[in-house]
Amino acid sequence: MPNTPPIAPPSIGSGRIVGSSTIPCDKVDIKITEVEWLESYTRVCQQDKPIANWKVWKSSTSMTTTQVNSDDFFYQDCSDNPAVYFIRSSSMANHKKIKLKVRLKTVCGSALPISTSGNKAKLILSFGNKKFISNEFSLPAKDDEESVILEGNIDQISWLISPTFSLEYEDNDTAMTKNSLFSEKIPLEAFVLYDEPAKFYKKGVWVEVLRFLFKNTDINNDQDTVVSAGKIAKYCHSEHGMVYEAVNGKSSYFSFDFHIPYFMDESNKGEFELRGYLSKTKYGLFGSTKKKNIVNCYDQAAAVQSLCGALGIISKWIYMKPVGYIKTTNLVGIGSCNNPFYKSNNSNKVESRLFGKPGEGTIRMAFDNHVFVRLKETGIILDATIGPYIGDKSVLEYANEVLDIKVNFKFNQRIAKILGARTPPEESVYPKPLTELPLTLEAIEKSFKGKYKGHEHTRGYPLKGVSKIVW
């Protein structure tokens, strides 16, 4: 074995070691060692559990979320440490702005000339066309670290993912830009919402729901709550693959307390299986699952309310009873229909016959009651069961388009004739407010404000709707 003299150890910062020799740095790279989202919303959940250490990404510990499962809730390139910000907020002073702290370290590499150390620079973080720019700082020398603050204003709801970094710096008094600065993939992810999520997200907003919404409903870069809510209603009605329960109108994913008559009370607790609805799966005991895409109007109203609530769009239900016969409309998963329970008697989806032969009873079936959603801020109507109604109709227009007043009155006259003087038309199965009296905006608005307490006269009684969401 040849006798070789020992190699002296390198001095600190003199270069990189390859094998047993030292190669001086003639160029350097900027490496990100840590990213912290500043002043962001703290209540964020994954799988209905608060995310631990949710706001800090460290190169040595965090990994990109790569799981993709049948729920369609997890996506590649997402982060285990997502952040949430708001366009507006009643309780947070930091709305309308995103702010990050990025810790940089200079290492040997090939990106920048070594002579740039100490020169002024700005770090730019880009999510598509959205840019967040740092304060001016001095490029650190080899093996040194520097923390910089990046910030930018926000006025649109957004899903910020798959970032790129660039650096503006000086080299020999010449302004330079280095794009695609880091070869390492930095798994950063943030959501910009309208406002704080609805109260039924008690532990925190579900990051899976936010990803689902931005992936499926074309709300990215929206600025108007009505527009976004309308897109959600349209998606639930026309794109999610749900079908109306046309036998008896039973709900699949929503349940409520029966101890309060007709559940018309603000204290009533409505429970919605949001995860099940989104994945079209009934989750049972001991891990059992069953695919199910059958819904009624309670399920659809709960879905619209829950998904809007994740974005900070707050709403209530409107409970309408009586409804009676409806005009031909686009019933979720069914299509054109004026006979919502046609499967119960093997009649037609669009049925012209009101009564059958003597002894056969009614052929065309009617709604006993119906629920839909009304936004708190604007009062607009959303209905993902029929229509869909996506916020472009007034209350009066909605009622006149949906309710078949003439047929209801005709039915009442027939019932009154069968029962005799005991039951006049205005007090029969579908009573006076929705039969012989014309619909007026004033009367409907009074109902919507809770002026009519009797359930049989509730053209539109406001309800809380969803109080609890279930994973």
Which DSSP letter does residue 241 get? -
Question: How large is the average pLDDT for residues 260-278?
Answer: 71
Tally the domains of the chain. 2
**pLDDT at residue 378 greater than cutoff 50:** yes
Domain presence at residue 119: yes
- Is residue 335 domain-shared with residue 464, that is, in the same domain? yes
Q: Which carries the bigger pLDDT value, residue 146 or residue 332? A: 332
Domain presence at residue 199: no
Q: For residue 39, which amino acid is it?
A: E
In the structure, what pLDDT confidence band is assigned to residue 322 with cuts at 50, 70 and 90? low
- Is residue 186 domain-shared with residue 255, that is, in the same domain? no
* Phi, psi torsion values for 100, nearest 5 degrees: -135, 155
Domain presence at residue 2: no
Across the chain, mean pLDDT equals: 78
Tokens of 278: 């989104």
pLDDT tens-place string over residues 39-94: 888 888 888 888 876 667 777 654 444 444 445 555 556 787 888 999 987 665 55
Q: Report pLDDT for 368.
A: 81
**pLDDT at residue 260 greater than cutoff 50:** no
Query: How many angstroms separate the CA atoms of 232 and 417, rounded?
Result: 45
Query: How many angstroms separate the CA atoms of 44 and 328, rounded?
Result: 43
Which of 109-113, 272-276, 278-282, 441-445 shows the lowest mean pLDDT across its residues? 441-445
315-321 and 458-463 beta bridge pairing = antiparallel
3-class DSSP state for residue 385?
A: coil
In the structure, what pLDDT confidence band is assigned to residue 422 with cuts at 50, 70 and 90? very low
Question: How large is the average pLDDT for residues 196-221?
Answer: 93
| Closest C-alpha among 249, 244, 247, 271 to residue 258 | 271
In the structure, what pLDDT confidence band is assigned to residue 160 with cuts at 50, 70 and 90? very high
Which of 346-355, 383-392, 405-414, 451-460 shows the lowest mean pLDDT across its residues? 451-460
Domain presence at residue 263: yes
Identify the domain containing residue 315 by its residue range: 224-403+439-469
Domain finish residue from 171, 193, 215 = 193
Which of 130-134, 204-208, 254-258 shows the lowest mean pLDDT across its residues? 254-258
- Is residue 166 domain-shared with residue 245, that is, in the same domain? no
In the structure, what pLDDT confidence band is assigned to residue 262 with cuts at 50, 70 and 90? very low
- Is residue 286 domain-shared with residue 184, that is, in the same domain? no
Domain finish residue from 150, 173, 193 = 193
Other Cβ atoms less than 10 A from the Cβ of 397: the count is: 13
Percent residues over pLDDT 90 in the chain? 35
pLDDT tens-place string over residues 270-313: 899 999 999 999 887 666 788 899 999 999 999 999 999 999 99
Q: Which carries the bigger pLDDT value, residue 406 or residue 189? A: 189
Beta-bridge partner residues of 86: 193
- Is residue 184 domain-shared with residue 242, that is, in the same domain? no
For residue 11, CA distances in Å to 3, 8, 16, 17, 158 come to 24, 9, 10, 11, 48
In the structure, what pLDDT confidence band is assigned to residue 195 with cuts at 50, 70 and 90? very high
3-class DSSP state for residue 431?
A: coil
Domain presence at residue 10: no
Query: How many angstroms separate the CA atoms of 363 and 297, rounded?
Result: 22
- Is residue 148 domain-shared with residue 293, that is, in the same domain? no
In the structure, what pLDDT confidence band is assigned to residue 33 with cuts at 50, 70 and 90? confident
Query: How many angstroms separate the CA atoms of 81 and 65, rounded?
Result: 9
Q: Report pLDDT for 117.
A: 74
Query: How many angstroms separate the CA atoms of 118 and 127, rounded?
Result: 28
Question: How large is the average pLDDT for residues 97-126?
Answer: 84
Domain presence at residue 398: yes
- Is residue 241 domain-shared with residue 177, that is, in the same domain? no
* Helices 441-448 and 395-402, packing angle to 10 deg: 100
